[in-house]
Amino acid sequence: MTTETNLVELDERMRGRDFLSLHDFTRDEIFYLLDVAKELKALQKAGKPHRLLEGKTLGMIFTKSSTRTRVSFEVGMYQLGGSALFLSSADIQLGRGEPIKDTARVLSRYVDGIMIRTFAHEDVVELAKYADIPVINGLTDLLHPCQVLADLLTIVEHKGKTDGLKMTYIGDGNNMAHELMYGGAKAGMHVVICTPEGYEPDAEVVRLATEDAKANGGSITLMNDPVEASKDADVLYTDVWASMGQEGEANVRANAFQGFQINGTIMKVAKPDTIVLHCLPAHRGEEITDEVIEGPNSVVFDEAENRLHAQKAIMAVVM
């Protein structure tokens, strides 16, 4: 995308679509969103207005707390000329047992889009089924598409491409591992998911991502040896060992994940110009060392910033 005309033209074809997973989008649509994100980022950096959602309102449902998701969506809507409403489970009737389908139909009459960050992915699917407006998945226990779109934007900025790159993820086979497989597959990457035994990613996600990877010249590989998995990696990625809602498993997981850390040993076997990503928040000294996250290969804070630009692209296109 290079002109506002192109944005409006594709906006008509993608307007109203839900953004639940990168698996739901074609490779061309994903790269279109990345082009929109790059253009909106350039406009923001130049201080030029880009009020594409003038007068529009985003309802933001949070049953999981967040720093980056809330701030980036709220600021993003403001920069696009719209407004955002923060709706915690304590503030709306969902927290008192109202059916999701009722909330979906009511909000559809008040706002122009819904972003939801919650636990069960099925809740987001149901919300999207009954809403007459676009629903954006801000995170579920299964998937995290907004984060991975920002990750792909960061990779393109620092590597100039995605096709043929090796991306090694070290950690739990969680929502990040799942969405990285989906996004990496569509982007033509060789994605290696390295987990302790017993913490592998969902088999159906692996199957679907493998099909997409084959169609786009990439691959999906599961491994259990972090050093072997990291050899010649162009991109290294990690996440916390115990995600929100898994606090009760923290001690068990701390034992199981020993050695599954991005540290000096891992950096030595990856490519010298590898970039290090982390979706944050980071537990320094657990899944990643302070030395690495503060080191010259880390682009973690560029990645965090790109949540803003990637999500603005999503909102501008579907809303």
What DSSP string describes 248-264?
Answer: GGHHHHHHHTTT--BSH
In the chain, pLDDT over 70 holds for what percent of residues? 96
Q: Residue ranges of the chain with pLDDT lower than 50? A: 1-3, 5
Nearest in space to 177 (alpha carbons), one of 158, 203, 216 = 203
22-143+307-318 CATH: 3.40.50.1370
Q: What is the pLDDT of residue 11?
A: 62
State the catalytic residues.
117, 144, 147, 239, 279, 307
d(C-alpha 288, C-alpha 291), whole Å: 8
**Angle ∠(216,193,148) on CA atoms, nearest 5:** 65
Q: Which CATH class is domain 146-304?
A: alpha beta
d(C-alpha 288, C-alpha 276), whole Å: 10
Q: Is 307 annotated as a binding residue?
A: yes
Q: Is 109 annotated as a binding residue?
A: no
Pairing verdict, β 235-238 and 57-62: unpaired
| Burial call 289-300: b when 16+ CB within 10 Å, e when fewer | beebbeeebbbb
Phi and psi at residue 297, to the nearest 5°:
-90, -10
The type of residue at 162 is: T
How deeply is 53 buried, as exposed, middle or buried, from its count of CB atoms within 10 A (0-12, 13-18, 19+)? Answer: buried
Q: Is 117 annotated as a binding residue?
A: yes
Q: Give, rounded to a whole angstrom, the gap between the first and last alpha carbons of the chain.
A: 18
The type of residue at 241 is: W
User: Whose structure tokens read 């919650």?
Assistant: 118
d(C-alpha 274, C-alpha 297), whole Å: 6
Q: Is 27 annotated as a binding residue?
A: no
Three-state secondary structure readout of 52-86: CCCCCEEEEEECCCCCHHHHHHHHHHHHCCCEEEE
Q: In what order do the strands lie in the sheet with 235-238?
A: 219-223, 190-194, 166-170, 235-238, 275-278
Q: Is 146 annotated as a binding residue?
A: yes
Q: Do domains 22-143+307-318 and 146-304 have the same CATH topology?
A: yes
Query: Which residues 6+ apart lie within 8 Å of 156 measured at CB?
Result: 34, 38, 162
Q: What is the pLDDT of residue 286?
A: 96
Ordered by start, the domain boundaries in the chain are 22-143+307-318, 146-304
Peptide bond into 281 cis (omega under 30): yes
